[in-house]
Amino acid sequence: MAEKTAARTADQLRALLIPLAMAQFICSFAGSNMNVMINDISKDLNTTVEGVQLAITLFLLIMAALMIPGGKLTDKYGRKRCLTVGLVLYGIGALLSAVSQNLPLLIIGNSIFEGVGTALLIPPVYILTTLLFTTTASRAKAFGAISAAGGVGAATGPLIGGFLTTAFSWRTAFLFQVLIIAIIWLLSRKRVVDPLPADPDRPFDTRGAVLSAVGLLLLVSGIMAVDNNFVLSLVMMAAGALVLVGFFAWVRREEHAGKEPLLSTSLFKNRVSNLGLITQNTQWLLLIGASFVVSAYLQVVRGYNAIETGVIFTATTVGVLLSSLAAERLARRRSQRTLILAGFLIALPGVAILLALVASRPSAWAFAPGLFLIGLGLGAMLTPSVNVVQSSFGEERQGEISGLSRSISNLGSSLGTAIGGTILVAGITSTPGRSYALAMVVLALISLIGLVAAWKLPHTPAPQPAPS
């Protein structure tokens, strides 16, 4: 009887994991699928490449800026309720995007509604996983499945988005998101349970949330404004940095007063976690940044349509899938540090290959080997990077560190699009080859920071299977 009960519990947990992994998949998908629609959207909405870049970057940035506040709200209003509200807001945003007739409405739908919706629904995904998968082994597998779903979502975004755009319209890619959101909502109604009651009386640090969001928005917006107004760009970045300094000063003040701030500074006192967060930030910066740069270059400069660009990115998808499927087996044989190091050492030569192509005009398929190596490397280190960060803290800190981890990863995505996209767009019409090369070099140099952080992670042996 006990074995049957355990089997039913395991089946229930596996069923619960499906909507949670699908939620991470669709949010990561949304961060990359618009990259292959640049020409179609800009022509249809009478805007520019910079306009589409703005919409993509704002979505990723709003998601990153509100991820930590979203995690805090789960304690106050309940994890399942926040998940449901996030799904509804995301669905509304996708519908608005599908029917938008101009760039402002697209930004409202895609960047704001979908960004806020994602910030509300992703923290419950990781917190519920932590609370419901109680053993180390089951939790590691669950995080692995969710991280893999995120990597696959980001990698397949260009392929699915390109197919739907070419076969029908770029608007159908947003309708596809509505469909997936509806399926997640239906699956989560009965399968997802909240093991802890909500605490409506729990305080929420509104000032901290505003300061952190405004600081990040100013900082990344300043990066995007470099090409248009250098002085204004510097002013915005300096203002963003000052606001973030003010945010951390406010957090320390709240802690000294014995209150609960938006983010505990003690999270940054763990060296291993800090190094893991750097690897997370830089790997997503490389993946999403390279995806935007290559997609924009192929469409605007080389004249490829959405499906042609998307098909080329199947190389990234295959790379992510291969390494993600092997992740559990590799984790039993190699330490997390080794896997993260290997991921960077595989991905960076992929960037070098993409960079070498600027000297000639080969066929588009010449981009496939570089994209494959980037996908293979990043797929290998997605799960170990998450595990390094999460396992650095005990049960009582999992909610906080989950929100910070997701925020840092999504900030990396927005920085990748902002930095790589801004450099590329600055010379895409006058000196496209030079701007493409410079964008890829900058992304590679930033990724070296992640490689150094991975090198500094402590040497730990691969986990050994428990005796039967």
Whether 356 has a pLDDT exceeding 50, the answer reads yes
Range with lowest mean pLDDT among 87-91, 236-240, 392-396: 392-396
How much is the pLDDT for 396?
67
Query: How far apart (Å, rounded) are the C-alpha atoms in residues 438 and 290?
Result: 12
Give yes or no for a contact between 306 and 155, defined as CB atoms under 8 angstroms apart.
no
Cα 410 to the center of its chain, rounded Å = 4
User: Span 389-400, mean pLDDT?
Assistant: 75
**What would the pLDDT profile of 243-257 be if each residue is shown by its tens digit?**
999 999 998 998 888
Rounded average pLDDT over 2-12: 52
109 within domain boundaries: yes
Query: Is residue 284 a part of any domain in this protein?
Result: yes
C-alpha 229: how far from its chain's center? Answer: 28
Number of folded domains that form the chain: 2
Same domain, 131 and 212: no
Work out the average pLDDT over 223-227. 77
Of the chain, the percentage scoring pLDDT greater than 70 comes to 92
| pTM of the predicted protein model | 0.81
Residue 185: Cβ-neighbour burial (10 angstroms; 0-12, 13-18, 19+): middle
For 44-62, what is each residue's pLDDT tens digit? 999 888 888 888 888 888 8
Tell me if 451 is assigned to some domain.
Answer: yes
Domain match, 226 and 328 both: no
Question: According to the model, what pLDDT value does residue 428 have?
Answer: 64
Q: State the residue range of the domain holding 312.
A: 10-193+262-456
Residues 253 and 131 both lie in one domain: no
DSSP letters, 152-184, are HHHHHHHHHHHHHHHHT-HHHHHHHHHHHHHHH
Is the model's pLDDT at 6 over the cut of 70? Answer: no
Both 257 and 269 in one domain: the answer is no
Shared-domain flag, residues 74 and 176: yes
- Packing angle, helices 49-77 and 271-296, rounded to 10: 150
For the chain, give the number of residues.
Answer: 468
* 347, part of any domain: yes
Secondary-structure breakdown of the chain: helix, strand, coil percentages, each rounded to the nearest 5:
85, 0, 15
Give the model confidence (pLDDT) of 125-171 as tens digits: 888 887 787 766 677 678 778 877 887 787 788 888 888 988 899 99
32-46, 215-229, 298-312, range with greatest mean pLDDT: 32-46
